Structure 1
Amino acid sequence: MVLSLGSCSFFELEDVSDPNFPDRSAFLANPTKSQLDFLATGIFSDLRTNGSGTGQGILLAYQVPGVIGREIYVLSTSDNRYVTELLGITPIDNANFLSGYFGSYSSARRSARTLADAAGNSPQITEEQRNAYLGFANTAEAYAMLVLSDLQYENGLRVDVSDPLKPGKILPYPQVVAAIKDKLDLAATQFAKAGTTLPFPVPSGFANFNTPATMLRFNRALAARTAIRTNKYTEALAAVQASFFSLTAAPTAGPLFNYGGANPDVFNSLFQVPNSKGSTVVVAHPSFVTDIRPTDTRISKVRKRDLRATTGLSSEFEPAIYASNTAPIPVIKNEELILIAAEAYLNTANKAKAVEAINVLANFYKVAPVTIADSDAKLLNEILYHRRYSLFYEGQRWVDLRRLNRLGDITPETTSDGKKTSVLKQLPLPFAEVQWDVANP
C-alpha cells in the first residue's frame, strides 16, 4: 500500500507523533495503557475522517460509489472530473484526487496495525485487556480493507503489510475478501476472551457498542457485510445472526461516526447546506425520485432545490440525510442487516423467513408487502429496491449491482451536450501503487 511522498500514506507514519499517526517505535518499545488508549481513540477518528481531519476519506468512500451507482451527481463549475471520469466519459486519472480515499483508509490500516503490534508487546496490560485492543485493531483494519476492496474490486489489494517497506504483493479480490473475513474472525475470538469491559474509551456514536460483547456484535455485522460481497449466504446468515440484527429494533439502529464541529473536532463532510449555491454541489440522481414508490417514506431522504445544471447534467433534488454539519454518519445499520438476512434466507431455502424480513422494512417505510407466493426473482428485486432506498448515499448500490452481475440495471445517460456515459466496474489502482511494484518487482 503505497502512495507518493507528500500524500497521506501507509508508509509515512514513522516520523509522526500525532496519536492518529503514531511513531511506531514509541509504541512498540514499551507501550503504556495510556498510549494504547490514545491510539485507539485516534483510530476511531481516523476511520471517520482521515489524517488531516478534512474528511476526504469518508467523503470519497460515499461519494465515488454514489456517483458511479447513479445515486447522486457531484456537479462542479470548477472541476468536472466527478462527472467525466466517474461516469465513464473519459478514463480516470489514477494520480488525481479521486484516489484520496486510498491514502485515508491505508493510514487507518497502518494505525490499526500499530495498535495490534503495540498491544501484543505491552507488559503493562492484562491478557483480557490485550485481547480487547487486538480485537478492536483487527476489526478496524478489516473495516478499512473492506472499503478499499469495494472501490478496487478486481484490482485486488495488498494483504500482508506487516513490514511497511516490504509489503506483500497485491492479491486478487477473492483472496482479499477471504483475508478480511479471517481478520474479522480472529478479532471475534479475541473479543470473546476480553472480559466484560473495554479498556479504552469509545466515542459517543459507539455508546451501545462499548463492551467486548457488544463490540463483537459490531464485528459480526461487518462479517455479514463481508460475506455478502461474494454472495456467501451461509456465512452471511451465521454472521448476521451473531450481530446486532433485530426484526423489532429500529431499522436505523447501529454504530455511528459522530462529529463535534470546529477544531479540535471536525464536521460531517457529507452535510450540505440546503439549496447550496457553492461551486461544487451534490444532487440526487433524478432516478431516485422517478423510481421510488408513491407511498415510500424514504422520499424524505431528498428535498427539492433550485435546478442545478452543469457538465451536461442536471437535477432539482438534493440529499437531505443530515440535518446539520455535526450530524452523525452511520457505520452499518440494522436495516442493512435485515436485508442481508433476507437475501441469505432467500438463497438458503428459507423463503418464509426472507418474506418476514423484507416485510419488516416494507411495513416500516409504507410500501406494499411481499408474500410467500412471490417468485424468488421478485423477492430479490424487492431486496435490492429496499437496499437502494434504505442505504441511499452510503456506498452500497453500485457494489450490490456489481456483485450480482446487474450493473446493466443502470442505464448510462447521455449528457445534454451529447457525451455518452458508461458504468465503471472499479476504480484504477493508484499511480503510486503501480509505481511501487514497478520499482520493486
Structure 2
Amino acid sequence: MNKTFIRALLLGSVVASLSGCSYVEINKLDDPNFPTLASVLTNATKQQLDYLATGTFSDMRTNVDGIVWYHQLTGAIGREVYVLAGSDSRYATNLLGIGTAGFDNNNFLSGRYYTTYSSSRRTARILAQSTANTSLVTDEQKRGYLALAKTAEAYDMMVLSDLQYENGLRIDVTDPLKPGKIRAYDDVLAAIKALLDDGAKDLAAAGTALPFPLPSGYAAGTAGVSFLTPAGFLKVNRALAARLAVRRASRPNGSYQEVLDALSGSFINDAGALTIGPRFTYGGTSPDVVNPLFQARNFTGSVVTVAHPSFRRDIRATDTRISKIAARTAALPPRQGFSSADDVVLYATNTSPIPIIKKEELVLLSAEAHAMPGPQQNLALAVTEVNSVATAYDALRPTPLTATSPSADILDEILYQRRYSLFFEGQRWVDLRRLNQLNRLNVPGTSLPEVSSTNLQTTIVRQLPIPFAEVAWDVANP
C-alpha cells in the first residue's frame, strides 16, 4: 500500500460495519476528528472516493485477519495443512470433523472470517453508493470507481460462498438494517456473476486511466504485465469471473463454455511466468501490516500451521513444487494427536506478497473446461494445457497423456497440478467438493480420512455452518 493507506485507515472508521456480530449491523459515528458516513454518501469529493478506493483494496485483504482464517479453514479442511493449537482443540475437532457435535456455529472459527469478509463487502458497497451519489467526478471516473466496488464485492462474496457453500448467503444487503434473506447457493453464484459482469462493463467505459491509486501488487512487475489501467484491471475481473464460472459449470445444467468466455478476456495469454497475476502486498512499516500467512521456520507458538503429511507423500519425485514445504529441524510434538515433519514455506519474509489469482490457475481452468463433456470439449488442447504446467515444474505424469486419453485421466492430472500449483490458496477443498471427489482426502486404501495418534477418527467437513449471529438476526427479524 502507499501513503494514502494512512488516510484510508481513518476513513475506514466510517465503513467498519461489524463488531463480531451480524453483517447487517452498522456503527453510528459522530466524531469531529473522523469523517462521517453521511459526508461520503452525499456528493463525495474525488479525494474522498480515492480514500474509499484505497480502503476497498485494503479490505479485500480483509485487514489481515480474514485472509488468515480463509486460508487456514480451507487448507485444514482440504488436508493441505494442519493448524495445530497448543491448547484449543477446536482447530482439530471442528476443522477435521472429529466427533458427533459437528462444527460449532458460535465460535471464532465460524464467525471471524464471516465478519471480516462481510465488512469488506460493506466497504465496497459504500464506495459504490458514494460514487453514485456524487456530481464531483466525471462519468468515466465514476465507471472506474464502480468497477472496483463491484469486483471487490464479488471477490468477497465468492470467498464467503466457498465457505458457506449450499447454506447460501444474503444477496440483498442494500439496507443494512433490513437485509434480504439468505438465498440459495446457485442464486448467490448468479449474483456474483452479475457483479463481475457489471464491473466489466464499467471498465469498458472507464477511459484509459483509472481515477484512483492502485496497490503495487497490481503492477505485477513481471514481463511488463500491469493491471493498473481499465484494460488491465478488466483482465483481473475476467480472471475472477473464470474462477467463479468453474463453480457454476460444476452445478446441474452448468456450462464450461462460460469458463472459456471469461478466460478470453483475462491475462491467460499474457507473456510471463505462470506465477504472474495481481497480488496482495504488505509492508513492514506502520500503519501498513505484514503478511499474516508468513511463519518463521520451526515455529512453536500457540497456533502453528504445518504442511499436511500427504503433501510430501503424494508429490512426484521430480516435482519442484516440493520447495513450498521444508522439513522442520526442530520437531513439533503432536497436538490433539496430529503432527507434521514439514513447515509451509510459501512466503520468504513477512512482507512477501500473497497471490490473488495466477496465470497457472487460468491455464488449468482452461484445461478443465476443454476436458469436460460438452460442445467445448477438446481433449487434445486440454492435454497440451495441463502438460504446459506440469513441464514447468518437472512434474509430468509417469504415463504420458495423449489426445485419446480418457477424460477422467485428464481431469485427474488437472487436479494433481491444481493441488500443487495452488497449494494453500483456498482452492483444493472447493475443487474436490464441486467435482464430488472429496473421497480423495481419504487415506489411500480406506474409506475415511486420517485417524489421530489418540485414535480419533476425522471426517470431511462439506461446508461451514451459518454463523450464530446470522441465524439470530433472522429469528429476531422474521
Q: What is the TM-score normalised by the length of structure 2?
A: 0.88
Contact 1:9/1:107, CA 8 A, preserved across alignment: no
Paired AA for residue 77 in structure 1: G
| Distance apart, 1:367 and its partner CA | 1.6
CA distance in 2, matches of 1:284, 1:221: 28
Compared CA separation, residues 322 and 33, structure 1 to 2 (3 A): same
Kindly provide the amino acid, as one letter, of the partner of residue 159 in structure 1.
I
User: 1:332-351 counterparts in 2 under 5 A?
Assistant: 332-347=357-372, 348-351=376-379
| Contact 2:209 2:230 survives alignment (8 Å) | yes
Question: Which deviations, in whole Å up to 9, do the C-alpha atoms of 1:404-435 show, x marking residues without a partner?
Answer: 01111111111111111100100000000000
Contact 2:22–2:470 (Cα < 8 Å) also in 1: no
Structure 2 distance, partners of 1:265, 1:248, is: 31
Structure-2 residue corresponding to 1:318: 343
- Percent identical: 56
CA contact (8 A) 2:18 2:119 kept: no
TM-aligned CA distance change 1:9 to 1:215, over 3 Å: farther
Question: 3-state SS of the aligned residue for 2:341?
Answer: strand
Alpha-carbon shift at residue 307 of structure 1 (Å) = 2.9
Shift of 1:279: 2.1
State the partner residue of 1:284. Answer: 307
Deviation at 1:81, TM superposition (A): 1.2
CA 1:23–1:87: 2 relative to 1, 3 Å: farther
Encode CA deviations 1:115-157: one digit per residue, 9 max, x unaligned: 1111111101111000000011000000000000000001100
1:77 counterpart (82, 86, 93): 86
- Counterpart mapping for 1:100-249 below 5 A: 100-207=112-219, 208-231=226-249, 232-246=255-269, 249=272
Structure 2 spans left out of the alignment, 5+ residues: 1-15, 220-225, 250-254, 443-448
- Which residue identity does 1:408 align to in structure 2? N
Cα RMSD after superposing both structures:
1.8
SS in 1 for 2:425: coil
> Which one of 95, 110, 120 corresponds to residue 86 of structure 1?
95
Shift of 1:277: 1.8
Residue by residue over 1:306-335, the C-alpha shift from the partner in whole angstroms, topping out at 9 and shown as x without a partner, is 332211111100111000111000000000
Superposed displacement of residue 215, structure 1: 0.6
TM superposition shift of 1:192 = 0.3
Asked if the contact 2:171–2:182 (Cα under 8 Å) also holds between the matched residues in 1, the reply is: yes
Report what 1:269 is aligned to. Answer: 292
Rounded to whole Å, the distance in 2 between the matches of 1:80 and 1:304 is 25
Q: Deviations over 1:77-109 (max 9, x none)?
A: 121211111101142221111120101110111
Q: Aligned residue pairs: how many?
A: 433
Q: Distance in 2 between matches of 1:201 and 1:15?
A: 28
The aligned counterpart of 1:301 is: 324
Moved more, 81-90 or 110-119: 81-90
Aligned residues of 1:62 and 1:395 also touching (Cα < 8 A): yes
The 8 Å contact of residues 17 and 23 in structure 2, kept in 1 or not, is answered as no
Per the alignment, in what secondary structure is the counterpart of residue 339 of structure 2?
Answer: strand
Contact 1:255 1:332 in 2 (8 A): yes
1:232-277 Cα offsets, whole Å, 9 max, x none, are 3110111012101138531110000000024201011100001112
Q: Structure 1: which amino acid aligns with 2:323?
A: S
Judging changes above 3 Å, is the alpha-carbon distance between structure 1 residues 260 and 247 closer, same or farther for their aligned structure 2 residues?
closer
State which of 60, 63, 68 in structure 2 corresponds to 1:47.
60
Alpha-carbon shift at residue 76 of structure 1 (Å): 1.1
* Cα distance in 1, alignment partners of residues 174 and 62 from structure 2: 23
Residues 67 and 74, structure 1, Cα contact 8 Å, conserved in 2 = yes
- Structure 2 vs 1, CA of residues 23 and 390 (structure 1 numbering), >3 Å: closer, same or farther? farther
> 1:357 and 2:385 equivalent?
yes
Classify the secondary structure of the residue corresponding to 1:105: helix
Cα deviation for residue 370 of structure 1 reads 2.8
Name the structure 1 match of 2:7. Answer: none
Alpha-carbon distance between aligned partners in 1 of 2:30 and 2:314, rounded to the nearest angstrom: 50
Deviation at 1:28, TM superposition (A): 1.2
- Structure 1: which amino acid aligns with 2:452? T
Match status 1:329 vs 2:354: yes
Q: Does the 8 A contact of 2:280 with 2:353 survive in 1?
A: yes
Tell me the equivalent position of 2:11.
none
Q: Report the equivalent of 1:33.
A: 46
Q: Any conservation in 2 of the 1:255–1:330 contact (CA below 8 Å)?
A: yes
Matched, 1:393 2:424: yes
Cα distance per residue 1:15-60 (max 9 Å; x no partner): 3599xx974322111100000000000011111133xxxx120001
TM superposition shift of 1:375? 1.4
Q: Secondary structure at the match of 2:436?
A: coil
Quote the Cα distance in structure 1 between the aligned partners of 2:207 and 2:358.
Answer: 26
Q: Are 1:421 and 2:458 counterparts?
A: yes
2-structure distance, mates of 1:209, 1:250: 16
SS of 1:143's equivalent?
helix
Q: Report the CA distance shift for 1:16/1:39 in structure 2 as closer, same or farther (over 3 A).
A: farther
